[in-house]
Structures are given as structure tokens and as C-alpha cells.
Amino acid sequence: MALEIIESCTSCWACEPLCPSKAIYEAKPHFLIDPDKCNECAGDFADSQCASICPIEGAILNADGLPMNPPGSLTGIPAEKLAA
């Protein structure tokens, strides 16, 4: 049970200090989550902290590989505009 940061991450640092398990670390070309440390904030917070502050839709995936913040969920930009 761990979240994953993928290439659309912009390395903005917002998530790193929030992680209660210190699972997030700076890496190139983008930040990464140590799957052995991440527990999706279970027991610490109701919501996963990294996924709650991440501004980039789709940059963080859940254990099933699905985006925690799907397209349009944060910016409200309609999907057809995003594709353009």
C-alpha cells in the first residue's frame, strides 16, 4: 500500500515536508516516494497529505495506479480543453 509520484511532477516541494512517514524525497527528474515507507498517511491523517496539496492533476497515483487527482479535479479545466 503506497502512493507513487510520476513524471508530470514539477518538483515544487509542496508535498515533501508534509509526509508524516518521510517517504518523499528529492530526485531527478522528479520527486519520488519510497514505497517501503509510505503508508498513505493511514493513522496520521484522514487524507493522504501529498495528494491533498499536489497542484498537478495525475502526478500522484494510488496503489492501483489510478490518479489521486484525476484530470479536471483541481483546476476545473474541462477535459476537452486539457487535451488541446
Binding residues (CB under 8 A) for another protein: these are 8, 10-14, 17-18, 45-47, 49, 52-53, 55-56, 74-78, 81-82, 84
d(CA 81, CA 25): 32
Toward another protein, which CB reaches closer, 25 or 36? 25
CB 6 within 8 A of CB 61: yes
d(CA 52, CA 47): 7
Shortest reach from residue 1's CB to another protein, in Å: 19
Toward another protein, which CB reaches closer, 65 or 76? 76
Toward another protein, which CB reaches closer, 66 or 79? 79
Alpha carbon 4 to its chain centroid, in Å, reads: 7
DSSP-based three-state secondary structure for 53: helix
Shortest reach from residue 32's CB to another protein, in Å: 17
